[in-house]
């Protein structure tokens, strides 16, 4: 995977110079996240192991993934992940190297260990939806 394989949200993060611009771009990415209704923010869709609450589900008819977290940082990470995941088939998602993708856009560089562990839980869930 090369940097030119990054989708727009991930590319904007990869090109960010410094923590301030990176954080700003991550917050902007989070605003692009498709809304997840409050009724879908339930126990069934909750992702265990995250520092902040996270819900992740798939709308089965269209096959579109949706997610939400009250954390602005995590919403940005979710937006980057779902931008990529929603362009993949379920089979492709199951084998896609999301860790490398996040490294390429510098996300792993800025995540604390506990947030990184939570994102790993999100990726594990993405791979089976």
Cβ contact 26:76 at 8 Å: yes
- Tens of pLDDT along 52-63? 999 999 987 788
Query: Given a cut of 70, is residue 1 above it in pLDDT?
Result: no
Q: Rounded to an integer, what distance in angstroms lies between the CA atom of residue 92 and that of residue 23?
A: 29
Nearest to 123 by CA among 56, 59, 76, 58: 56
Q: How far is CA 79 from the centre of its chain?
A: 5
Contact 36, 58 (CB under 8 A): no
Number of domains in the chain: 1
Vertex 45, ends 44 and 51: CA angle to 5°? 115
- What's the rounded Cα separation, in Å, for the pair 25 and 28? 5
Question: pTM of the full predicted structure?
Answer: 0.92
Summarised one tens digit per residue, pLDDT across range 59-92 is 877 889 999 999 999 999 999 999 999 999 999 9
**Domain containing residue 89: CATH number:** 3.90.1010.10
Q: How far apart are CA 29 and CA 12, in angstroms?
A: 9
Report phi then psi at 120, rounded to 5: -60, -40
Per the structure, the complete domain to which residue 95 belongs is given by 3-128
């Amino acid at each position: 995977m090369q940097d030119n394989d990054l989708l727009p949200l991930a590319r904007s993060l990869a090109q960010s110079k410094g923590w301030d611009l990176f954080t700003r771009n991550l917050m902007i990415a989070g605003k692009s996240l498709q809304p997840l209704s409050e009724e879908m923010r339930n126990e069934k869709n909750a992702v265990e192991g995250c520092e902040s609450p996270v819900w992740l589900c798939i709308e089965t008819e269209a096959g579109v993934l949706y997610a939400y977290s009250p954390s602005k940082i995590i919403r940005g990470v979710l937006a980057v992940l779902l931008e990529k995941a929603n362009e993949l088939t379920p089979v492709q998602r199951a084998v896609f190297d999301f860790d490398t993708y996040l490294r390429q856009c510098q996300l792993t560089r800025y995540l604390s260990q506990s947030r990184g562990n939570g994102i790993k839980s999100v990726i594990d869930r993405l791979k089976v939806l």
